[in-house]
Amino acid sequence: MTPRRLTTPDLVLATHNPGKVREIADLMRPFAVAVTAAGDLGLPEPDETADSFVGNAELKALASATASGRVSLADDSGLVVPALGGAPGIYSARWAGPAKDFAAAMARVNAELGSGDRRAYFVCALSLAWPDGHAETVEGRAWGTLVWPARGTRGFGYDPMFLPDGHPLTYGEMDPDEKHAISHRADAFRQLVARCFAP
């Protein structure tokens, strides 16, 4: 089936996470598409009940598109550690608890890993949904190694402990442009652009 192209000059970002809003807004800027965060519209956050990143991204995008009547873009992302059986995975945010304490979440990952294999990857599923229920969804990945202690104060989430392959700095130490060029979100966004934005 032919992918659906984005033809509207604006969309809703189906997230209440300010870090994701900043990153996705930066990625959208070259396409002259205005973005509004779901939180700014007072849209509720749906329960993430799917069992995959793709499923949760689609769930959030469709909920936002239905509630707002506008094309919506949702992200579901997290850290996958094979040595922990794929955890924290789709529960990455929940490991940080209600207070969103990612310092504690990173410490938990490090403690559970111990001397185990520290290879890991970030996943980002992006779903672009229309109010009629149609969705286009892609998934990007970025591999790296988990370091301890965590390094850097930039980025968000697990960024300070993730050292991407081939780079000397963690995501938490990189300037935003450098991270945007290589991240899991950038990988997914390139796929989405090719599918829905390219002429």
pTM summary value: 0.90
Cβ atoms 95, 88 nearer than 8 A: yes
- Tell whether the model's pLDDT for residue 33 goes beyond 90: no
Note the pLDDT of residue 27: 80
Q: How far is the C-alpha of 64 from the C-alpha of 87, rounded, in Å? A: 27
Crossing angle (nearest 10°) for helices 184-192 and 18-28: 40
Average pLDDT over every residue of 9-26: 84
Mean of pLDDT values over 44-73: 94
In the chain, % of residues over pLDDT 70:
99
Using CA atoms, how far apart are residues 46 and 157, in angstroms rounded to an integer?
A: 20
When pLDDT is cut at 50, 70 and 90, the band that residue 198 belongs to is low
The number of angstroms, rounded, from the C-alpha of 34 to the middle of its chain's C-alpha atoms is 19
Strand order in the sheet with 72-80: 34-37, 10-13, 72-80, 119-129, 135-146, 162-164
Average pLDDT (173-178) is 92
Please report the pLDDT score of residue 199 as a whole number.
61
DSSP, residue by residue, 60-105: HHHHHHHHHSS-EEEEEEEEE-GGGTT-BGGGTTGGGTTTT-HHHH
* Main-chain phi, psi angles of 51, to 5 degrees: -105, 20
- Of 113, 134, 114, 139, the C-alpha closest to 57 is 139
Query: Does the structural domain 10-197 have CATH classification 3.40.50.2300?
Result: no
Active site amino acids: 76
pLDDT surpassing 80 at residue 1: no
Domain range annotation of the chain? 10-197
Beta carbons within 10 angstroms of residue 3's beta carbon:
12
pLDDT at 23: 78
Q: What is the mean pLDDT of residues 124-144?
A: 97
pLDDT bracket for residue 180 (50, 70, 90):
confident
**Average of per-residue pLDDT across 92-103:** 94
Looking at per-residue confidence, does 71 or 20 come out higher?
Answer: 71
Question: Which tokens hold the place of 161?
Answer: 């402990």
